[in-house]
Amino acid sequence: MGCGRVGSTLTHSLEERGHTTAVIDSNPDAFRRLGPGFSGITVTGLGFDRDVLVKAGIERADAFAAVSSGDNSNIISARVAREQFKVDNVVARIYDPGRAEVYERLGIPTVATVPWAADQVLRRLVPADSEPAWRDQSGQVRLDQVYAPFAWVGHKIAALEAAAGVRVAYLNRLGSGLIVQPETVIQEGDYLNLFMREDCVDVFRRVLDSGPEAD
């Protein structure tokens, strides 16, 4: 539900993966974003209207995404899909982070657009920020994303892991993800995704800045 930039992009991504889709929007002109190659169906109407949902095939849907520009429309549509049509896999796009938390408690998975986008930009502006990309429920293990410092360029992943007490899960290189091996050599521009214990953060940052000789 919702054929704006997010909805149309999501639709194309699903079709590229072999899924069939139906798109609902109250504005028929919005369907132009789907382009001539779109093979699904389009339904003009409100995403929380039962008749509109039935026309779109909700009764045989495996998943439902509410990604319009309105928080209220998204959450109502998501709840109708979940509670009345028993669609198990439902997600709603929410701008208000406070509302997102409430709806998560109601069992509606949400994507809080503004906080997520701001956080992603912040992490790229300040990659050494103290807040990790992820932290486990115990608060003991965290995932950090950092650019490979010059001091470690040309050295192996195994050397960094041993010196800093971390585990490099994967790295991004030239726009592509790469599963690392112990023998993988760090290159300039690599974006490292690594796990560490919370109590090892200070050691990791010191080793990262100093390079292998400091160990």
Assigned token pair, 132: 């990790």
Q: What is the pLDDT of residue 192?
A: 93
- 156 has which bridge partners? 185
Are the beta carbons of 91 and 78 closer than 8 angstroms? yes
pLDDT at 98: 74
Q: Which domains does the chain have, with CATH numbers?
A: 5-119 (3.40.50.720), 128-214 (3.30.70.1450)
For the record, the structure tokens of 202 come out as 């200070």
pTM of the entire predicted model: 0.61
Segment 33-47, tens digit of pLDDT? 999 999 999 999 999
For residue 39, the one-letter residue type is S
Distance, CA of 169 to CA of 192 (rounded, Å): 8
For 11, 33, 90, 175, the CA distances from 22, given in Å and listed in that order, are 8, 14, 14, 31
How distant, in Å, are the alpha carbons of 5, 24, 31, 59, 123 from that of 92?
Answer: 15, 14, 20, 18, 24
Q: What does the pLDDT look like over 83-132, one tens digit per residue?
A: 999 998 999 998 887 777 777 777 778 887 776 676 666 666 665 556 78
